[in-house]
């Protein structure tokens, strides 16, 4: 580098001749990082031109798939940081700067309260097969009035970097527009960004996001959606030292249907009212229907199934409201935890009923104390789902893999956290169906008038509950799994919403 001219032009030809294989990509990323870190003085336009030419080579759309094979998964994050850091040292004079390459475009200008609204408009090709898409950074008059003296503003557009971040970090999100980086005066607290969508569809919703420089992930916190249609999305964002790059994410599995919303909320409203009535009736007749030990345990299970389903429905509604929020990540995590916990509790209380049946049929019923049986039922009904729900959030949330990007529910694409609900639920469905089969075989051998007949009748009543509820719960969440696998099917979503909302009527 000693013999290299001050404008860094000596390195360009060698870099442009190098094949875009993973090893070379990693070496060039490290070179760009070293150059950015070594320069402590202002960068002139010639240096920025050379730096952009080198970055342009590895940002080429033909190299996107090769980023997957770079051992250091953070290489793309390092590249973004290096570009932003180098651009932050760019010296802008009175003449605006416009440095354009195919896959990186840098613009800079002086701004202050005396200037009118300033905007940086980009139009770039994402890949050889696609057309041009545009992006715009708008600095409003009200915000510019905060700038006391002329200061420089720089913006960079990167059409392929979103796909590169996705490939190298194995992200489950899809960037659906340009990545726009900004280096602005600290007085500017709000900027507007307009992104033309790469994939244009009425069925897809977008999320305005900023790139968290420390955690290397897209974050909805600093941005909010102003307006969206099938062609573009308008965002308002808060730039800071942590957030200097912004874009929009596509949520391909989100269906926006008024019919689905009405079915869900009306059905859940009826379900909640029915559960409250059910619990009220249980409280009124409790002393009359719990005179024997087995009837007491049976109604204890019924009351707890109703209570957990009621709480699950309430938290389901809370989670649905928080799913549209861009800033309440912690609230969304809490809502998802409780939805997961209480829906699992419904299944585990069904399992507790099945174990109660097996105990009554296969073993002499009164050999264990009532207090021990009650403690065992509560351990199964609440202890097991609590452990599963806690382990799930503890393992996946530190990696930001607990939630789905578009909803307050367990992630599937990145961490498969949804399996922490699906596997226990389906296992319980199988155990309960086997239990029902054993009861049918066993009770056929008990004669009318025998000493066990009354207890067997009580057990058969429990068995009928399980025989009805287990297939219903299993069918309901079978369609729930189908909505994850095929998120575009309105039939799956409506069927799941109907079954989930009205399953209480079978209690």
Looking at residue 479, its pLDDT comes to 52
Torsion of CA 194, 196, 202, 207, to 10 degrees: -50
Looking at residue 39, its pLDDT comes to 79
Looking at residue 448, its pLDDT comes to 46
Q: What is the pTM of this model?
A: 0.57
Give me the residue label for tokens 């000693």: 2
Give me the residue label for tokens 């990540």: 329
Residue 3 CB neighbours (<10 A): 5
CA 180 to chain centre: 22
The residue among 471, 395, 473 whose CA lies nearest residue 437 is 471
Any residues with CB less than 8 A from the CB of 271 and at least 6 apart, and which? 309, 313, 501, 502, 503, 504
Cα angle 153, 154, 157 (rounded to 5 degrees) comes to 145
Residue 105 pairs in a beta bridge with 100, 157
Looking at residue 451, its pLDDT comes to 46
CA 86 to chain centre: 32
Which pLDDT tens digits describe the chain residue by residue (507 residues)? 445 666 567 778 888 888 999 999 999 999 999 988 887 778 888 889 999 999 999 999 989 989 988 888 889 999 999 999 999 999 888 788 999 999 999 999 988 877 777 889 999 988 766 678 999 999 988 888 888 888 899 999 999 999 999 888 766 678 999 999 999 998 888 999 999 998 887 666 788 999 999 888 888 888 888 888 888 999 999 999 899 999 998 765 555 556 666 777 777 788 888 889 989 998 999 888 887 777 888 789 889 988 998 998 899 888 888 875 545 678 889 999 999 999 899 889 988 887 877 776 666 545 678 888 899 999 999 999 999 999 999 998 887 778 876 678 888 766 888 889 888 988 887 887 777 677 666 655 544 444 444 555 555 555 555 555 555 455 555 555 555 555 555 555 566 556 655 555 444
Q: What distance in Å separates the CA atoms of residue 5 and residue 381, rounded to the nearest whole number?
A: 73
Taken in order 438, 444, 448, 450, the sign of the CA dihedral is: negative
Q: What distance in Å separates the CA atoms of residue 22 and residue 82, rounded to the nearest whole number?
A: 18
Alpha-helix runs per DSSP H in 100-225: 141-144, 161-169
| CA count, 13 A, side-chain hemisphere, 490 | 9
Structure tokens at 475: 């069918």
Q: Could you give all domains of the chain from N- to C-terminal order, each with its CATH number?
A: 10-251 (2.60.220.50), 258-506 (1.20.1070.10)
| CB-based contact 248:232 (threshold 8 Å) | no
Taken in order 170, 176, 182, 188, the sign of the CA dihedral is: negative
> What is the DSSP code (8-state) at residue 192?
E
DSSP string across 411-423: --TTT-TTHHHHH
């Amino acid at each position: 580098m000693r013999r290299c001219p001050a404008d860094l032009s000596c390195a360009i030809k060698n870099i442009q001749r190098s094949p875009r294989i993973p090893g070379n990509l990693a070496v060039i990323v490290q070179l760009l990082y070293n150059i950015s870190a070594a320069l402590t003085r202002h960068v002139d336009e010639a240096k920025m031109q050379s730096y952009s030419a080198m970055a342009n080579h590895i940002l080429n759309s033909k190299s996107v798939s090769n980023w997957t094979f770079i051992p250091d998964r953070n290489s793309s994050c390092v590249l973004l940081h290096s570009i932003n850091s180098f651009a932050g040292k760019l010296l802008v004079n009175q003449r605006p700067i416009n440095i354009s390459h195919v896959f990186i475009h840098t613009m800079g200008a002086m701004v202050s309260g005396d200037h009118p609204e300033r905007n940086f408009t980009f139009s770039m090709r994402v890949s050889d097969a696609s057309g041009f898409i545009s992006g715009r950074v708008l600095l409003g008059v009200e915000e510019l009035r905060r700038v006391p003296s002329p200061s420089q503003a720089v913006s960079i557009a990167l059409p392929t970097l979103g796909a590169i971040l996705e490939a190298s970090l194995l992200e489950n999100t899809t960037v659906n527009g340009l990545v726009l980086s900004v280096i602005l005066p600290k007085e500017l607290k709000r900027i507007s960004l307009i992104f033309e969508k790469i994939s244009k569809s009425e069925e897809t919703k977008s999320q305005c996001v900023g790139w968290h420089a420390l955690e290397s992930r897209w974050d909805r916190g600093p941005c909010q959606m102003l307006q969206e249609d099938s062609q573009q999305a308008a965002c308002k964002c808060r730039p800071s030292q942590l957030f200097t790059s912004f874009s929009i994410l596509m949520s391909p599995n989100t269906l926006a249907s008024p019919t689905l919303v009405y079915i869900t909320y009306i059905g859940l409203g009826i379900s909640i009212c029915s559960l409250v009535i059910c619990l009220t009736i249980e409280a009124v007749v409790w002393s009359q229907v719990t005179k024997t030990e087995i009837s007491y345990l049976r109604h204890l299970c019924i009351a707890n199934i109703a209570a957990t389903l009621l709480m699950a429905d309430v938290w389901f509604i809370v989670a649905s409201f928080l799913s549209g929020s861009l800033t309440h990540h912690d609230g969304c995590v809490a809502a998802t935890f409780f939805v997961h916990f209480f829906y699992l509790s419904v299944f585990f209380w069904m399992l507790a009923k099945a174990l109660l049946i097996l105990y009554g049929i296969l073993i002499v019923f009164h050999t264990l104390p009532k207090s021990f049986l009650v403690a065992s039922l509560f351990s199964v009904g609440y202890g097991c789902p609590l452990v599963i729900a806690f382990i799930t959030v503890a393992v996946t949330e530190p990696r930001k893999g607990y939630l789905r990007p578009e909803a307050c529910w367990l992630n599937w694409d990145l961490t498969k956290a949804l399996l922490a609900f699906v596997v226990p639920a389906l296992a319980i469905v199988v155990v309960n169906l086997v239990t029902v089969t054993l009861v049918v075989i066993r009770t056929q051998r008990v004669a009318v008038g025998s000493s066990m007949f009354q207890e067997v009748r009580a057990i058969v009543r429990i068995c009928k509950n399980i025989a009805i509820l287990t297939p219903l719960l299993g069918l309901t969440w079978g369609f729930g799994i189908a909505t994850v696998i095929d998120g575009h099917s309105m039939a799956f979503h409506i069927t799941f919403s109907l079954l989930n909302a009205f399953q209480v009527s079978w209690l």
